Structure 1
Amino acid sequence: MNIYAIKVALRGISPMIWRRLQLSGNTSLADLHHIIQLAMGWENDYLHSFHIFGKDYGIAYEGGLSFSDNPLTVILDDFGFDIGDRFTYTYNFYDHWLNDIRIEAIQPIDDITAFAPYCYKGQGRFIDNKPYYRTDEQYALSAILVDIFHGNEATITVGDIRLLIEKYEAIRFNRQAINTLLSQPLSDAIYPC
């Protein structure tokens, strides 16, 4: 059995939105879909598919795509990945959120029983199921930080700083929150197959 370090990056978004995850080799494609949903902050509202070594995989939903393989039984170790191998994950066929997934490291492991997936790095965030882009208000709030940095605290109020903290918390990448979600058992109930 192996442990895989992968990078999931949403293509065509600036600033980039990406996550680095560690997963066990016995992670099924259905679980990988769920893990990516949690890591990206998505809510499983849209159809998806993986494209691995020229073949499409995914969870079949009534009225959606069908796939020849059961995503609950196909696991990462089945593909014989090497470091540097790539595949894609498309989520939301309307907006075509294409994610590039790259295998960054592979480490053999003897005891996989206690291993849970986790996110060890990332950048960017989704707000209301849409990629986050800075608004003029957030640029103005970042000016407050510049004032503080340059010693112009006399013009800064506690309310300004509180607003800055609230806005920052709403948009920052929060690895601990993602890992709290990933530490919970992945439920078979979310998979309709």
Structure 2
Amino acid sequence: MPIKTKRTYYQLQITLQHIEPPIWRRMLVPGGITFHKLHKIIQAAFDWQDYHEYSFQFEDFLVILPNPDFQFHETEKNPKKFKLEQVIDEYCQFTYEYDFGDGWEHEMIFEKAVQLEEEVHHPVCLDGERHRPPEDVGGPGGYEEFLRVIRDPEDEDHDHMLLWAEKDTGGRKFDPEYFYRQAANRKLAKITC
């Protein structure tokens, strides 16, 4: 009989900042992953489109892709080489920023480490609430204005904004309260770790 091995997973609470009520996900992510893989996991869990730059911000360093136009600073780490397990014990809270123009900051909180059977080879979304804002809506302030417009059928931009947001929903009407965990987990199952 084969011996079942266990793998360490990290339970993370990820909350989009500056938006009320909160938009959040609780995740199990495999140990040993790079920050670039963690970026891909967050993109899938929140259903972001993954066409903007990103970084992970810690108290005394930054995890960010090198830019050929600028010198890589000694306090910067390459997300394709730097691994989550290198810092998770020391830093139980940090920030993930996606889209430097809109400035979507996600608070990352390490809750605990768990051991899972090795048959699980991908991240898992345990829970969450609410749909993330549409891409390129203009940050938290733009999203607040977007919500005001789509909640007012009399607003002259109402229909246009709902139609514009369908680029992010696959043709479904945008619903800020919508979150379907099974759909997130289908996307996450495609990310092997």
| Both proteins in one fold, TM over 0.5 | yes
Structure 2's unaligned 5+ residue stretches are: 1-6, 138-142, 154-171
Do the aligned partners of residues 185 and 85 (structure 1) sit closer, same or farther apart at CA in structure 2, a change above 3 Å counting? closer
* C-alpha contact 2:34 2:82 (8 A) present in aligned 1: yes
Task: Provide the residue aligned with 1:178 in structure 2.
Answer: 184
Q: For 1:69 and 1:91, how far apart are their aligned partners in 2?
A: 17
Q: Would you say 1:70 and 2:78 are equivalent positions? A: yes
How far apart are 1:123 and its partner, in Å?
Answer: 1.0
Q: Would you say 1:48 and 2:62 are equivalent positions? A: no
Aligned-residue Cα RMSD (Å) equals 3.0
SS in 2 for 1:77: helix
How far apart are 1:14 and its partner, in Å?
Answer: 1.3
* C-alpha contact 1:19 1:122 (8 A) present in aligned 2: yes
Give 1 or 2 for the bigger CA radius of gyration.
1
Q: For 2:88 and 2:102, how far apart are their aligned partners in 1?
A: 31
Do the aligned partners of residues 182 and 65 (structure 1) sit closer, same or farther apart at CA in structure 2, a change above 3 Å counting? farther
Task: Provide the residue aligned with 2:151 in structure 1.
Answer: 136
Q: For 2:37 and 2:128, how far apart are their aligned partners in 1?
A: 19
* C-alpha contact 1:91 1:97 (8 A) present in aligned 2: yes
SS in 1 for 2:147: coil
Provide Cα deviations, 1:132-190, integer angstroms capped at 9, x if missing partner.
7363358xxxxxxxxxxxxxxxxxxxxxxxxxxx7587851111111111101359xxx
Q: Would you say 1:95 and 2:102 are equivalent positions? A: yes
Q: For 2:17 and 2:70, how far apart are their aligned partners in 1?
A: 23
Do the aligned partners of residues 105 and 40 (structure 1) sit closer, same or farther apart at CA in structure 2, a change above 3 Å counting? same
TM-score, normalised to structure 1, is 0.68
The partner residue of 1:79 within 61, 79, 87 is: 87
Q: Would you say 1:57 and 2:60 are equivalent positions? A: no
Task: Provide the residue aligned with 1:148 in structure 2.
Answer: none
Decide which structure has greater helix share: 1
SS in 2 for 1:126: coil
The amino acid of 2:52's aligned partner reads Y
Q: For 2:83 and 2:38, how far apart are their aligned partners in 1?
A: 9
Q: For 1:65 and 1:40, how far apart are their aligned partners in 2?
A: 32
Q: Would you say 1:37 and 2:52 are equivalent positions? A: no
Structure 1's unaligned 5+ residue stretches are: 139-165, 188-193
Do the aligned partners of residues 170 and 15 (structure 1) sit closer, same or farther apart at CA in structure 2, a change above 3 Å counting? closer
TM-score, normalised to structure 2, is 0.68
Q: For 2:71 and 2:132, how far apart are their aligned partners in 1?
A: 25
The amino acid of 1:87's aligned partner reads F
* C-alpha contact 2:123 2:189 (8 A) present in aligned 1: yes
Identity level (%): 25
SS in 2 for 1:93: coil
Q: For 1:137 and 1:128, how far apart are their aligned partners in 2?
A: 18
Q: Paired residues, what number?
A: 158
Q: For 1:61 and 1:40, how far apart are their aligned partners in 2?
A: 26
* C-alpha contact 2:131 2:176 (8 A) present in aligned 1: no
Q: For 1:183 and 1:65, how far apart are their aligned partners in 2?
A: 36
The amino acid of 1:9's aligned partner reads T
